[in-house]
Amino acid sequence: MKLTEEARSILETSYKHNRIGDTERQEIEFLIESLPEDRKLIYKNVDSNPIGDLERYSIHIRLQHMLTFVTFLTLAFTGLPILFLHAFWAEPFNILLGGIEITRIIHRTIAMIMIFTMVYHIFTIIFGAMLTIKQRRFDVRRTILPLMKDFYDFRDDILYFAGKKEQRPEMDKFMYKQKIHYFAAGFGNTVMIVSGSAFLFPEFWASILPESYASYFQELMRLSHPHEALLALLVIAFWHWYNVHLAPGRFPMQWTFLSGKITREHQIEEHFLEYLRNLVESPEEREQLREMMNRKGLLQTSTPGEETTA
């Protein structure tokens, strides 16, 4: 397999970060060279554990997802009967929880947990980034920050789905879709927190806003809160759940949110650049890939010595 410029650069950075010696480097280069050009052949033929093969999310990220998961659903299901408190279905729901006042208290308490989760997440990413910078292993391409490459990946992926390209683009740990989704969620959370706080602390907002704007701000927040919630529900139900449950290759469920691991097949298909880092970081992964590809007769045997020219 011939590497693209981007993949080559990722590989070189990873060699540097992992302090890879010459012998190991030659071994990695030789393995990559003997892989077939068509990545589909690789990911369709490797063996994967459905629960996951390669590390992806730390326990902190998994905990944050779990907290967001639970608070999101409970906020949606306590928020609706508060908004439609006189509806026939809302009344028994509120009575079940102990009355509208109790539903409100539950809604606000869970909101605090959601805000805590967001703060916890911001701390995790800041300290996580600081740690990798200190260890001299930081690579912005491995983060969720949007880069120009994501625009090209998006275009190339659409071209692939339209049958105009042979292969999907080589994407990094976070692909364009995940980046859009992540920032949409971040924006949504901010809107919900600001608008929710406007209902809880109207005096505070009135005190910091110009007098002529304060009431407009309140009205805007009254509109934003339920409509942003509706948007979030739509995104979660149609987009996120499709991607992690129903999409071909993920059905019936992707386990990453529990195990923190991604399947080898998925990593090679959608996060090939991250897979290259996995190959550099883990001799076991190289051994397994070599064994699997050999077993299927997919390793191209090139003459040893050529790899040193790379």
Partner 1 sequence: MISPLNFWQKVVAYSSLAAVLIFTILGMLAIYVLLTGEY
Q: Would you tell me which residues interact with partner 1 (CB under 8 A)? A: 44-51, 73, 76, 80, 83-84, 87-90, 226-227, 230, 233-234, 236-238, 241, 245, 249, 252-253, 255, 263, 265
Closest among 182, 147, 128 to 10, alpha carbons compared: 147
User: Considering only CA atoms, which of 134, 140, 122, 142 is closest in space to residue 185?
Assistant: 122
**In angstroms, what is the minimal distance from the CB of 52 to partner 1?**
10
CA distances from 278 to 48, 237, 303 (A): 15, 32, 25
Closest to 260 in 3D by CA, of 41, 59, 101: 59
Q: Which is nearer to partner 1, 243 or 282 (CB)?
A: 243
Q: Which is nearer to partner 1, 2 or 44 (CB)?
A: 44
- What single DSSP character describes residue 98? T
Measured from the CB atom, is 215 or 294 closer to partner 1?
A: 294
CB of 306 to partner 1, least distance (A): 30
Backbone angles phi, psi at 261, to 5 degrees: -115, 150
Neighbours of 251 (CB within 10 A): 10
CB of 298 to partner 1, least distance (A): 13
Q: Which is nearer to partner 1, 146 or 226 (CB)?
A: 226
Amino acid at 51: I
The least distance separating partner 1 from the CB of residue 80, rounded to whole angstroms, comes to 5
Which amino acid appears at position 30 of this protein?
A: F
SS3 92: helix
- Shortest Å distance, C-beta 55 to partner 1: 18
What is d(CA 68, CA 74) in angstroms, rounded to the nearest whole number?
10
Whichever of 10 and 293 has its CB closer to partner 1, that residue is: 293
CB 72 to partner 1: min, Å: 10
Continuous segment of H or E residues that includes residue 261? strand 261-262
| Residue 96 amino acid letter | L
Q: Which is nearer to partner 1, 11 or 229 (CB)?
A: 229
